[in-house]
């Protein structure tokens, strides 16, 4: 057997997540190993959730639990499963002193008072799509605690603001499972190889295109949207852009990150402050998109500049390619500059 043939039969499988983290640990704000361990803990829980998602149709784990979470949303069985898996992994890993989850009213103290980090997480975004086999995901955000090590974490550890994140990312459970994250030095993506049980580096430097041909929003709320959003969407349609809306935030975001586009979740009459949660949806995805060269705005300010006041705070979200987000902001600026005209007959009730 020739050397060339031997080489062809034993091609490198690639760089594992573990090896990549070790090689790039110097990029972390505090290169002492704890943050590296946190990312490994999140990846481990992601592998377990991936297993449960892949066999959901063969077990009794699909469907609703028959109860609501703190958000007033119906909990799916896999919501509860994912919540348990991530909290358990972060607790057993020892580096997180507290976890804030979409599925819990208050923070969860892990008992690791020596831990230097806190984690905010949406364990299973888009879980209502589980029963129809549509891509779903996990979103996470990591902060270095501000309270003294050795004490229990407090609200201040989670309400630092989006600019204080040291790492953030998401796991997409789709046709393949991907872990995408940033530590403030660009964005990297890893694809899960089921037979080996490892995440391998597949996208070493992810950047979002400056513009795109996709807009993602629920047009069923058209008449509830602010006028500037409808103006922007009309511009998109006049340009024959494609409307693509999965209904799983991670899935829509992931597509637009790679192909270019904009995701919109404006305020509505039912949710005037927006619907998406800031700490474990808005902040982490905004941090990641800025690292990839994109923009994340509320319509008035950058998402990462919002000052948080509560755990489950909500905000509007316009996120994606910078040219598209800026076009939307231009529509918002025109709407604010336009004079307000009183409709005939409004004052006298006609």
Query: Is 281 labelled a binding residue?
Result: yes
Query: Is 81 labelled a binding residue?
Result: no
Residue 197, CB-side half-sphere exposure with 13 Å CA sphere: 5
Give the 3-state secondary structure of residue 155: helix
Query: Is 122 labelled a binding residue?
Result: yes
- Residues with Cβ within 8 Å of 66's Cβ and at least 6 positions away in sequence, in order, are none
Asked whether the beta carbons of 320 and 294 are under 8 A apart, the reply is yes
Which of these, 167, 84, 132, 164, lies nearest to 251 by C-alpha position? 132
Query: Is 264 labelled a binding residue?
Result: yes
Query: Is 245 labelled a binding residue?
Result: yes
Q: Give me 208's structure tokens.
A: 């979002």
Asked whether the beta carbons of 263 and 252 are under 8 A apart, the reply is yes
Q: How far apart are CA 243 and CA 76, in angstroms?
A: 28
Query: Is 102 labelled a binding residue?
Result: yes
Query: Is 128 labelled a binding residue?
Result: yes
Query: Is 224 labelled a binding residue?
Result: no
Query: Is 218 labelled a binding residue?
Result: yes
Largest CA distance in the chain: 94
**Residue numbering of the annotated binding site for Mg(2+):** 102, 122, 124-125, 281
**Residue numbering of the annotated binding site for substrate:** 125-128, 218, 245, 263-265, 275
**Residue numbering of the annotated binding site:** 102, 122, 124-128, 218, 245, 263-265, 275, 281
């Amino acid at each position: 057997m020739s050397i060339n043939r031997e080489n062809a039969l034993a091609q490198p499988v690639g760089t594992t997540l573990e090896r990549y983290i070790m090689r790039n640990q110097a990029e972390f704000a505090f290169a002492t190993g704890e943050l590296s361990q946190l990312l490994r803990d999140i990846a481990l829980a992601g592998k377990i959730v991936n297993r449960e998602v892949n066999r959901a149709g063969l077990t009794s784990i699909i469907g609703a639990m028959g109860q609501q979470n703190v958000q007033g949303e119906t909990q799916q069985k896999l919501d509860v499963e994912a919540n348990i898996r991530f909290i358990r992994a972060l607790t057993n890993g020892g580096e997180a002193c507290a976890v804030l989850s979409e599925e819990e009213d208050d923070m969860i103290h892990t008992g690791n008072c020596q831990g230097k980090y806190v984690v905010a997480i949406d364990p299973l975004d888009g879980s209502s799509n589980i029963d129809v086999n549509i891509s779903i995901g996990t979103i996470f955000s990591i902060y270095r605690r501000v309270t003294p090590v050795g004490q229990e974490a407090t609200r201040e550890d989670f309400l630092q603001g989006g600019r204080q994140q040291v790492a953030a990312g998401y796991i997409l459970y789709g046709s393949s499972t991907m872990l995408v994250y940033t530590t403030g030095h660009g964005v990297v993506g890893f694809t899960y190889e089921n037979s080996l049980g490892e995440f391998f580096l597949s996208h070493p430097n992810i950047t979002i295109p400056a513009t795109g041909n996709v807009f993602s929003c629920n047009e069923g709320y058209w008449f509830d949207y602010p006028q500037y959003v409808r103006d922007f969407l009309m511009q998109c349609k006049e340009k024959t852009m494609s409307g693509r809306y999965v209904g799983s935030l991670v899935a829509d975001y992931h597509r637009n990150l790679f192909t270019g586009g904009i995701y919109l979740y404006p305020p509505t009459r039912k949710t005037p402050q927006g619907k998406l949660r800031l700490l474990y949806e808005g902040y982490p995805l905004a941090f990641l998109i800025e690292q990839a060269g994109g923009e994340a705005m509320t319509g008035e300010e950058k998402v990462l500049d919002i000052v948080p006041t509560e755990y489950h705070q909500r905000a509007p979200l316009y996120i994606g390619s910078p040219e598209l987000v800026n076009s939307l902001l231009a529509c918002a600026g025109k709407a604010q500059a336009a004079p307000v005209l009183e409709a005939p007959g409004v004052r006298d009730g006609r």
